[in-house]
Amino acid sequence: MSGSGAVASGRAAADIHGGGDAAAQGSGAGQGARAHAQSAADADIYIQRIYASYLIETPFDPRQVAETMAGEQSCGTFARVRDETDELRARARATVESIEELAAAPAPSLPNAYLERRGVAGPWRRARVSLSFPLGNIGANLPTLAATVAGNLYDLGELTGLRLESLRLPSAYRMRFDLPAQGVAGTRASIGAASGCLVGTIIKPNVGLSARQTAALVRELCEAGVDFIKDDEVCADPVHAPLAERVPAVMEVIRAHAERSGRHVMMAFNISDETDAMLRHAELVQREGGSCVMASLNWCGFSAIQSLRRSTPLAIHGHRNGFGALSRHPLLGISYQAWQTLWRLTGVDHMHVHGLQGKFAQPDQEVVEAARDCAARMSDSADDRVLPAFSSGQWAGTVPATWQAIGSEDLLFMSGGGILAHPDGPAAGVASIRQAWQAQRVGLSLEEYSRNMPELRVALQRFGKPAA
């Protein structure tokens, strides 16, 4: 807080706590009106609700288990206690909104010592359960929101599987949290690309390059024509290329390129660290004229990213590494829709969705749904869309499937090997990807379009057939 802000806050505190005479002389009627208004506001916040949908598996009646879930995540416990009054329950208890029973499973999806101790066997019944939670239990508190919709539910002994499938927030509630500082429009403006797919790449090898070697590679990539470059998630502040050396070295190259070409290449420096260090790293990037920082969301945590967002105007590139541990099992964890809903409340600007026909385990449909989730607004009051970042095994040949699935060029298409391993060099790799997007705009197949585009033709020969 600035000095003037601290003084203003101090005066406000003195007015509130220092025996302000005018306030003390306020009429009883006025105090009563304020109390009534506050009471009405308190009641209203318990009427507004958050909705979460789960896929569950249990040997018990799903209706009973759903009620247990609702109690566990609001005002209940395994036995009703003295102060859990009917009035309190009416105000603060989560509600079971719907239950849809599905086909039973032949075996439990997850081990469960609680059931084993009691000799409980199947059938293992599955159901979709929708719960709603009163906002008054949570407030504008992201860690508590996450603990409410995705907390101890996973440990309940009655369950052999639980997955948070969807999360829906009131529009006004979303506006109580941070918005992207740049988002789609700001990212485009920073790069100077009003239209078209944004083409990016990743520093490879992931780790091991010195600051000067990294800067030399960035120079080559800038000259190749990329819009965006990012560090790998495992390279943040290593001893061989600390940020204190790497950021100035790389930004010197990017500034020089901008002066020559008029194009600012956005570089996402990986500043993942403990909170205070991240804030210092972001300040360094901003001082050097940078426009973007990157953080490993799952490992930095909600509060750290919220603090980062409130301290910097730079675009925050949110990396999803570790999400597979939360999502790959169909009866455990959290869907991307729910995960990105929570993380977008931190005000990130870009979010990874992986890529079609990529090297990772997610089916293409999950990638498509993730990109659509990022491109959907969460509020009627502001454009809070984030830029979906496609990566992993992407090259010119995966462009048609991406276009057909998304139908938009408001995305970041990142390619490592598809650019750096192109037989004619990185510039040809970038050109091949841009040509693939141009082919989509004019409605031609890559094979047809490549007849007059040597970079695309060579990419198809080198990397194989386009993804279906």
Q: Are strands 350-352 and 198-202 parallel, antiparallel or unpaired?
A: unpaired
Residue percentage of the chain with pLDDT more than 70: 89
Supply the pLDDT for residue 439.
98
Cβ atoms of residues 49 and 133 within 8 Å: yes
Contacts of 97 (CB under 8 A, 6+ apart): 51, 130, 131, 132
CA–CA dist 220, 161 (Å, integer):
49
Q: Pick from 115, 142, 168: which residue ends a domain?
A: 168
Which amino acid belongs to residue 87? E
What confidence tier does 76 reach under pLDDT thresholds 50, 70, 90? low
Supply the pLDDT for residue 465.
75
Which amino acid belongs to residue 106? P
Supply the pLDDT for residue 81.
73
CA–CA dist 406, 172 (Å, integer):
28
SS3 content of the chain, % helix, strand, coil (to 5): 50, 15, 35
For the cut 50, the answer to whether the pLDDT of residue 374 exceeds it is yes
CB-facing half-sphere around the CA of 5: CA atoms within 13 A: 2
For the cut 70, the answer to whether the pLDDT of residue 127 exceeds it is yes
- Note the pLDDT tens digit of each residue in 379-401: 999 999 999 999 999 999 999 99
Q: Pick from 118, 139, 168: which residue ends a domain?
A: 168
CA–CA dist 354, 124 (Å, integer):
33
- Do 335 and 397 lie in one domain? The reply is yes
What confidence tier does 43 reach under pLDDT thresholds 50, 70, 90? low
What confidence tier does 25 reach under pLDDT thresholds 50, 70, 90? very low
Q: What is the four-CA torsion angle of 86, 146, 143, 308, rounded to 10 degrees?
A: -150
Average pLDDT of the residues in 194-220: 96
- Do 265 and 349 lie in one domain? The reply is yes
**What CATH number should be reported for the domain holding residue 130?**
3.30.70.150
Supply the pLDDT for residue 468.
60
Supply the pLDDT for residue 412.
99
Supply the pLDDT for residue 78.
63
Supply the pLDDT for residue 79.
67
- Do 276 and 146 lie in one domain? The reply is no
Average pLDDT of the residues in 67-92: 80
Cβ atoms of residues 388 and 395 within 8 Å: no
What is the rounded average pLDDT for all residues in the chain?
90
- Do 152 and 266 lie in one domain? The reply is no
- Do 209 and 355 lie in one domain? The reply is yes
| Residue 64, domain extent | 47-168
- Note the pLDDT tens digit of each residue in 273-329: 999 999 999 999 999 999 999 999 999 999 999 999 999 999 999 999 999 999 999
How many residues appear in the chain?
Answer: 468
- Do 304 and 373 lie in one domain? The reply is yes
Q: Pick from 168, 191, 211: which residue ends a domain?
A: 168
- Do 239 and 161 lie in one domain? The reply is no
- Do 133 and 83 lie in one domain? The reply is yes
Residue 17 counted as domain residue: no
Cβ atoms of residues 46 and 133 within 8 Å: no
Average pLDDT of the residues in 230-243: 98
Cβ atoms of residues 402 and 370 within 8 Å: no
For the cut 60, the answer to whether the pLDDT of residue 28 exceeds it is no
Residue 434 counted as domain residue: yes
- The domain total for the chain is 2
- Do 148 and 192 lie in one domain? The reply is no
- Note the pLDDT tens digit of each residue in 401-440: 999 999 999 999 999 999 999 999 999 999 999 999 999 9
- Note the pLDDT tens digit of each residue in 150-202: 999 999 999 999 999 999 999 999 999 999 999 999 999 999 999 999 999 99
**What CATH number should be reported for the domain holding residue 198?**
3.20.20.110
CA–CA dist 213, 445 (Å, integer):
38
- Do 110 and 206 lie in one domain? The reply is no
pTM given for the model = 0.89
Supply the pLDDT for residue 88.
82
For the cut 60, the answer to whether the pLDDT of residue 443 exceeds it is yes
Distances in Å between the Cα of 152 and the Cα atoms of 156, 157, 162, 429 are 7, 10, 11, 48
- Do 419 and 372 lie in one domain? The reply is yes
CA–CA dist 338, 463 (Å, integer):
35
- Do 332 and 263 lie in one domain? The reply is yes
CA–CA dist 130, 388 (Å, integer):
28
Q: Tokens 């490549």 sit at which residue?
A: 450
Supply the pLDDT for residue 191.
98
φ/ψ bin of 19: left (φ > 0), alpha (ψ from -120 to 50), beta (otherwise): left
Burial class of residue 122 (count of CB atoms within 10 Å of its CB; 0-12, 13-18, 19+): middle
The helix-helix angle for 302-311 and 142-149 (nearest 10°) equals: 150
Burial class of residue 219 (count of CB atoms within 10 Å of its CB; 0-12, 13-18, 19+): middle
CA–CA dist 313, 299 (Å, integer):
22
Residue 42 counted as domain residue: no
For the cut 70, the answer to whether the pLDDT of residue 249 exceeds it is yes
